[in-house]
Amino acid sequence: MTRARTVPRVDACPICLELFQFGLGRGRIKKYCSSKCCRKAQQRKWSQRRQSHWQPKTCEWCFNEWQPKTKMTQRFCSKKCSVNYFGQIERCGVADRSILPVCVCGNLACPDPYKTNGRRQMGKHRRCLDCRKAKWSQQQAGRGSHKSKRRREIVKAGEKITFDDLLMRDGPLCQICGELMDWQTGRYRERVSLDHIIPISKGGSHTMDNVRLVHMGCNSKKSDRLPADVLCRDQ
């Protein structure tokens, strides 16, 4: 009894679309032109099975649909969502985005509506607007008040000095850069200002010997440094 042979025919490979003799294989029907195309077909088959098995999930914090890449037990689409979820549990005891923490005064805490930086999140802040404004005004009231008060007291206890007296003594030149000062200019850095040679914050006094006329820009550049420090930095 003779074994029937399959009749060869020319067909295109379903992977690379090259022509080959379809049906001439060793012991079985040949469907692909090479082993490389056969491996690609198996990879496609496994990827289709994997996609059909892994269904898209819903994130427990942002409620967006996503498909996990490694484990089907993942609950959040990103690390940010997981941090927000467990942070809400620590603050309120329940991972509900609609529940807001309560402020010390008894009102519900809410974000600042004047900030539009795109980072506002409900349940993230712990103070209401009234408490936030009161704290901000308290911080602004105590900022630098002790320095300005001490400076006013020293100036008031010192000599009475006018710009005319210093102009008659030093002339119209700046005592730092040596350039001519313009008394009618509108530019901020070229305006005439009064500078203490030894700053009041370093123990200086408000007297004629410790006062000179300089540009506003030179005065701000000098800041509260001593003359020796200014010369060393300029060199």
What are the sequence ranges of the domains in the chain? 9-53, 65-140, 154-234
**At 129, is the secondary structure helix, strand, or coil?**
helix
pLDDT of residue 118: 44
Query: From CA 43, how far away is CA 122, in angstroms rounded?
Result: 46
Query: From CA 191, how far away is CA 197, in angstroms rounded?
Result: 18
pLDDT of residue 108: 76
Residue with structure tokens 């003799």? 21
CA distances from 106 to 39, 103, 121, 128, 130 (A): 67, 5, 20, 9, 11
Task: Please tell me the class of the 154-234 domain.
Answer: mainly alpha
Distance from the first to the final alpha carbon of the chain: 110
**At 192, is the secondary structure helix, strand, or coil?**
strand
Query: From CA 143, how far away is CA 221, in angstroms rounded?
Result: 22
Query: From CA 124, how far away is CA 83, in angstroms rounded?
Result: 11
> Low-confidence residues of the chain, pLDDT below 50?
1, 116, 118-119, 232-233, 235
Residue with structure tokens 């100036």? 155
Query: From CA 22, how far away is CA 11, in angstroms rounded?
Result: 6
CA count, 13 A, side-chain hemisphere, 19: 3
Find, among 47, 2, 6, 48, the residue nearest to 30 by Cα. 6
